[in-house]
A and B are shown apart, each in its own frame.
Chain A
């Protein structure tokens, strides 16, 4: 119960309470750029969710097995070169390695889609390569790193928690961008003052949406108390 509840909390937390876009303000470029039509926003959101899951799996594995101090691979390599036991900390490489993992997984996904799902590939169009530089994905990887590196051995996140955070975050991103697209579609019909048309009103709406999502703050503590029995 305890573990499942924790997973659920991480997922809900990433999707709603600490929404990537509306709480941390990452991934704003697609949030503004691709939120004009609901179907396109949904496609972008799902593409991000898909890529974020793959990239965070990869980066979790790399962090856990290679980068963190005391990781099996680096410890083994260290004993090989220095001839003695000891830990080596390679976390300085985190950003490089994550971008590397994200870029190549996006490439891989793109090739796979092009071969087996041409219509999906066509509808993603330019957005799939654009995801490579989407900060929401790097942000998810770094959030995972925070919970793998520099914490007590018992508190280190497993792959399940890492995936929960990233998929939750991806779905939260999808939710935010679809809501935004819905509002902007309606806005097309509204009599917006000329200087406010287009991006300005979109930014104001994003701000109001972020304020609205602040209403979720504290829900995680309450939920945690409920599910974990007052911890």
Chain B
């Protein structure tokens, strides 16, 4: 699916590499480093040098050993050459993973975790979005026992319109999922390695990683961070973006709350629809019997019957969901044990 640290001999288009990888030594052991910074590179103009210097300086100052993995998500362009230059400069501290096609940030992160040596994974956007000073505090939270540190950009510096939309998005999330996260749209996160080994993410789940980790029973801490700059478009996004966000929320809500009991979800939804249809039918029946009005040609009757039929169909889907879960996921655990005292 993807090529890891491509050998320039196989792939001449990858650009010149001045220094080869050092031979694999004793340090190539998972957990031998404190921190692995994962940077999914989404576009050719990524500020890889700035990110490396800002975070690297801060990590050195904190006295933590680190490495940085740039995951090129099907991206060519100047960023690639820049990283090659950094690699010759920093040696083993800079590593790259290269996808031939864009797979999205979730897959980037999963691939990087496979290769990462650090005990803590820090994800960063491809530019210096948040004051690197905050990284120290975030890592301290992990040392204090948190499994996942989510950032909260406060105060924010991007245009008001973006902020309003972001606040709205997070508010909807809070309402639907019932958790108090303020800022899911900032990807500057510090995560204990075990969390990412346990929680499998795919598709657009990257954004919801704190929510998923929380539902899986990990301790998620939110810290306020200073916002430096924001890339991306100002103003309104395309309609497609809003629709996709809405679908994401629906998927996350369904998967985090109802994976093991699909009928509870479909049954409640279908029950409500059927109930509304039944109430309309009851109303029409009263009209017919008490007031003796003809109801035959009324659209309301058809709507009522349609609602009942729709509700029953939704419940039917829930039944198939139960069969799927029973037959495919019999050993799925719904709990996470913190500790056992034997």
Q: Are A and B co-members of a single complex? A: no
Identify the B interface with A (CB < 8 A).
none
A contacts, CB < 8 Å to B: none
